[in-house]
Amino acid sequence: MLNSGYEMPILGIGTFRLSQSEAEDSVYWALRDGYRLIDTARIYGNEEGVGRGIRRAIEEGFVTREEIFVTTKMWTDDYGNGAAAIDASLERLGLDYIDLMILHHSAPGSDVSAYQAMEQAVSEGKLRSIGLSNYYTPDDFDRLVGETTITPALLQNETHPYHQSTEMKEHLRQYGTVLESWYPLGGRGNTQTLFNDEAIVEIADAHNKTSAQVILRWHLQAGNIAIPGSSNEAHIQENYEIFDFELTEDEMQRMTALDRNERFASY
């Protein structure tokens, strides 16, 4: 339950680096498999494909629009005209409203006006919830909160076992803002580093699950929303099959002990 009053699924499909056609297929497969959270962004260049995948799934009866939670992000280049950026995303997605729009990066000097444009769009019914991405210090987060009216419902930051966002999660608690993990499995080029971590492999073996499934299960039990991205039909299904087991308290402590405050991305 977000502080905006809307419910958000805790596991979704990410579409970073997917082409229009890949995004369409991945979203369609995900909705067919049971996912209800879709994450895209203007800068990904695939909002149209995401919209097509949503419409395919609706037309085939897998889901209704009301059951889907769609997230997109406003790119920094668009902060100077946030209202137009919101309308453009709605048009590309082919939707009447967006469940969650996020400012893609911190940009002191322009992000406050962009956030205020999102606040206006909430009052107009175009957006239901609004939030932030890539705000990595309490001071930066508070800077924007102090100059705006609607408290961010969500902060989406790079978060995984080696970078557990502990400081920001603790800071967000006072606002009722939830943490969402991008790169929940480490991101392209880094997944094998996490998948082959000895502790994660041992926990996976104990549950007869894959390392990916253990990491995603850890996210959910740690209170993070996770959006693993994939264009692989089998991996999309595998990533959703995490609701039939639970990590023990000891296993959660072992996962917590992996934190190195180490990010894989530089943006």
Yes or no: say if 194 and 228 are a contact pair by the CB < 8 Å rule.
no
Yes or no: say if 194 and 213 are a contact pair by the CB < 8 Å rule.
no
Catalytic residue among 28, 35, 44, 115: 44
Phi, psi (rounded to 5 degrees) for 117: -65, -35
Grouping H, G, I as helix, E, B as strand and the rest as coil, residue 198 is helix
Helix 82-93 with 111-123: angle, nearest 10 deg: 60
The 10 Å Cβ neighbour count of residue 202 is: 12
DSSP state of 5: S
Compute the distance between CA of residue 188 and CA of residue 116 in angstroms, rounded to an integer: 33
Compute the distance between CA of residue 101 and CA of residue 105 in angstroms, rounded to an integer: 12
Catalytic residue at 44?
yes
Q: Which residues are catalytic?
A: 44
